[in-house]
Homo-oligomer: A and B are copies of this chain.
Amino acid sequence: MLSMESRMKNYIKSVVALTVSWVLVLVGFIPASASSVLTDKGYQLEQVVMMSRHNLRTPLSGKGSIAEKMTSHQWHQWSIQPGHLTLKGAINETAFGQYYRCYLEDEGFMPVDWVPQEGEVSFYANSFQRTIATAKYFSSGMLPVANVHVVHTKGIDEPDPVFFFPLELDTPRLYELGVSYTEQNMPRYLTNGEAMLASFEKVMDFSHSEYAREKGIEHLDPKDVHFVLGGKDKNVPGFKGSWRDAYKATDALIMQYYEEPDNNKADWGTGLTKQDWKNIGDISTRGISMICENPALSLRYIHSLLEKMDSDLSNEDKRFSFFCGHDTNIIMLMTVLGAEDYHVPGAIADKAPIGCKIVLEKRRDKDGELYINPYIIYQSDRQIRHCEVLDLNNPPLRYPIKLTGIEANEDGLYRYSDFKRLLQDIHAQYAYYTET
């Protein structure tokens, strides 16, 4: 934990070290010196807990899948195994880690060439290739001279229940809460459906697709969607209908958009506008939000991850911890924390962009009071599509998380004691709703 004074000492030490070192002072080297506004205001960064979505992966939709059936076009040819992080995803996540190296050095949080002691940092990922690899690339970018160990608890590509779960409403209270939420809120997720599906049909050349031919239709019906309870115990909330089919097909479409920076290739020359792409992103976001914003599901399934994040946050020896999972985890976490509804700019997937991270920064003010600075940080679609190198001059985009259950101070920070109380409330709710 560095005070302002020790930050200055470290800075002076590093300048002296450079001067006396065998390494000469660099031609044109500008030492980074502009810390963040919060640091300048005296909120010193002491600890970081980060929950990341994996970076770019190949589509999950299968051969002969709905994605193939709903278009007359040929999909992008992927050279990487199904569900794996793509080559570009690895590059982008390395860039993200490098940005954090620049940022955390600049904040006085860590020295140049930091090699953390045992227990000071941790990287824990779901056991899928794409989540382990995302954690690995981020860690290399952030700590290139340290030998960081990425922890995963299952065999590769086996789901770890901390991150990936069956989505059952498996107690009476959860069932009631979950079902009534969906019944009440479903219309909210279906607004603007016509425009969204129009963009989808345009890019997919839908009317000439096998799907359209088989069903004898030319257009998708935005009202053709209904709530179902699946699974062997009929307690897994889901949706059916052509809207749901479009949602499933957008996965391959969005991955193609990220992977292919040439618009003309990404949209098969159909002349999609930015708004069209946003509409397509919205299909995906709505589809996942319908499930993951459900308070019963998010409470039930994010609890274990939240406990681990809380445990790291409470551990004074742990300076940086990184968790890596999925968009489902991101949206559930935001739901459980009671974040104000949000739509991040610069990304067609505006709730959980690929590779995005929920960050909890623990900061201490001059009087010794601790605060949490929560935000979501993500590469803009432009940065992703063009594999941009990131640094303090080209940072990823940052969007503050506004918590509705506790009050922020004038600098947008939450007292750590309030935040801990919020977590306790969540634990209490979890206990109540999971009681059988």
Mark A residues whose CB is within 8 Å of B.
18, 21-30, 32, 58-63, 65, 67-68, 74-83, 85, 87-88, 90-91, 94-95, 98, 102, 112-113, 115, 129, 132-133, 136-137, 140-141, 144-145, 147, 149-150, 156-157, 159, 252, 387, 389-393
Known contacts A94-B90, A137-B140, A144-B132; is A74 also within 8 Å of B28 by CB? Answer: yes
Expressed in whole angstroms, the Cα–Cα distance for A140 and B149 within the complex equals 12
Q: Which 7 A-B pairs have the closest CB atoms?
A: A24-B62, A26-B82, A133-B144, A28-B75, A140-B140, A23-B83, A25-B63
Is A81 in contact with B26, judged by CB distance below 8 angstroms? Answer: yes
Known contacts A79-B30, A133-B145, A136-B140; is A157 also within 8 Å of B23 by CB? Answer: yes
Expressed in whole angstroms, the Cα–Cα distance for A25 and B87 within the complex equals 18
Which chain B residues lie closer than 8 Å to A27 at the CB level? Answer: 59, 61-63, 65, 67-68, 75, 78, 252
Query: Taking the nearest CB of chain B, how far is it from the CB of A107, in angstroms?
Result: 15
Is A95 in contact with B87, judged by CB distance below 8 angstroms? Answer: yes
Is A28 in contact with B77, judged by CB distance below 8 angstroms? Answer: yes
- Which residue from B24, B32, B88, B157 sits with its C-beta under 8 Å from A65? B24
Expressed in whole angstroms, the Cα–Cα distance for A76 and B149 within the complex equals 36
Which residue from chain B places its CB closest to the CB of A68 in the assembled complex? B27
Query: Taking the nearest CB of chain B, how far is it from the CB of A216, in angstroms?
Result: 25
Is A77 in contact with B30, judged by CB distance below 8 angstroms? Answer: yes
Known contacts A387-B91, A387-B387; is A23 also within 8 Å of B82 by CB? Answer: yes
Is B62 in contact with A25, judged by CB distance below 8 angstroms? Answer: yes
Which residue from chain B places its CB closest to the CB of A61 in the assembled complex? B27
A-B contact pairs, 17 of them (CB 8 A): A24-B62, A24-B63, A26-B62, A27-B75, A32-B79, A79-B391, A79-B393, A85-B144, A90-B94, A90-B144, A94-B137, A94-B140, A113-B156, A115-B156, A132-B145, A137-B144, A145-B156
Which residue from chain B places its CB closest to the CB of A112 in the assembled complex? B81
Which residue from chain B places its CB closest to the CB of A99 in the assembled complex? B87
Is B102 in contact with A24, judged by CB distance below 8 angstroms? Answer: no
Expressed in whole angstroms, the Cα–Cα distance for A265 and B79 within the complex equals 34
Is A391 in contact with B24, judged by CB distance below 8 angstroms? Answer: no
Which chain B residues lie closer than 8 Å to A113 at the CB level? Answer: 129, 156-157
Is B94 in contact with A91, judged by CB distance below 8 angstroms? Answer: yes
- Which residue from B78, B91, B129 sits with its C-beta under 8 Å from A389? B91
Which chain B residues lie closer than 8 Å to A68 at the CB level? Answer: 27
Which chain B residues lie closer than 8 Å to A149 at the CB level? Answer: 147
Which chain B residues lie closer than 8 Å to A82 at the CB level? Answer: 18, 23-26, 29
Expressed in whole angstroms, the Cα–Cα distance for A77 and B98 within the complex equals 18
- Which residue from B133, B159, B389 sits with its C-beta under 8 Å from A88? B389
Expressed in whole angstroms, the Cα–Cα distance for A391 and B159 within the complex equals 28
Which chain B residues lie closer than 8 Å to A132 at the CB level? Answer: 144-145
